[in-house]
Structure 1
């Protein structure tokens, strides 16, 4: 990997002896490839998820905090998006997180999550909330949101609503319905 491949806001993760991945801030030119990754990772049911309802109800996409994973040919093979939301306090919403099925190995998804956590913390965020499997997100520091603390649109298993405090006390005021930021 040449130094030119490591642009501002990007870091590299080597996997195996022959392939490197670069993480970069999401840019408009990644849009078509991201849609392809999302379709391959989630299939036709991806638009039926509760997280889609969160985005449809006014969550504000933060491309400067969102990250893509690029393979050694510069192709998008993963994405982790961040949105601004509120639930009694300003929060970030993480998702979608997707890695192309051909690249789902060696922790690439978790590495993308950690890249976004770092960006959100640097931006001064209070906390991040998401819908996902605790077993997957626990290594990044996420825990289950206490019962009845935050309400999301649509049906969701409470054991899959997770959050991460980005600074001490950051989640103290977080409660109520997850809405668009004010």
Structure 2
């Protein structure tokens, strides 16, 4: 790590860089040196013999992940190693992983991932196509979206969600 010295880090930052076993989670406020610490940590791991391809670097923005990977390349004076780091946002890395392994799930790798707004629009379109204009007591698309999400995430039926999380609401179940 010839470009940067660990001596420039404060004691808490050094602790993170020197952490030896298992993953490290870095949570700190803006301007606290997270990028510098993570860069040093990744460079230290690679310098100590950990293959760059076995390092998973997740951040909240692709810009931050790319910046850290570039800084690691500069720190190691080896631009090829930084290209092997698996890096990106939680969503982008997850999407890449799913696309690479789609065949294992019997999916094609050209699937779409809907954001919340797209999902609501799809629910509205499905409702319009199947039942026309819902009655005034029919749940809004956002409520249905929440029911579907809870059902999927809790591995249970929509009826179970209605009975537990929405029991106090009068949904006029015959409309559902």
Give the number of the structure with larger relative contact order, counting CA–CA contacts within 8 Å between residues 6 or more apart: 1
TM-score by length of structure 1 reads 0.31
User: Which has a greater percent of strand?
Assistant: 1
TM-score by length of structure 2 reads 0.31
User: Which has a greater percent of helix?
Assistant: 2
